[in-house]
Amino acid sequence: MKKAVTKTVQVEDNDMRTEYDFTDGVCGKHYKAMQAGYTSTIHNADGTTVVKDVMPKEGAVVLEPDIRVYFPDSESVNRTLRCLIPLLPKKRRTKAKKA
């Protein structure tokens, strides 16, 4: 009889319980739904219910996890985008300024 092979993942901050397994997890699964907004329902112990509609702020941009590694804050994103603006075709830059 063969022994079952177990896979272990080394994590620097080992706050995760060993029984949690995210090997089949999907990154960004709820990304599009979050951009459209969502409703949160909170059921209190006293029997009341609070419903909150949450919409992202206008102009908010959500970075995907693989990009977030390179841009940890707004300043780094803005600095990079300002460097890219001169590379855009002049026609496109004119339209972007009017918007």
The pLDDT tens digits of the residues spanning 24-70 come to 888 878 777 777 788 889 999 999 999 998 887 888 887 888 888 89
pLDDT over threshold 90, residue 80: yes
Look at residue 10 in the predicted model and tell me its pLDDT. 56
Q: Give the tens place of pLDDT for each residue, 6-22.
A: 555 554 566 778 888 88
Look at residue 77 in the predicted model and tell me its pLDDT. 92
**What is the DSSP secondary-structure string of 25-89?**
--TTTTHHHHHH-EEEEEE-TTS-EEEEEE-PPTT-----HHHHTT--SHHHHHHHHHHHGGGS-
| Beta bridge mates, 39 | 53
- pTM strictly above 0.85: no
Give domain limits for the chain: 31-98
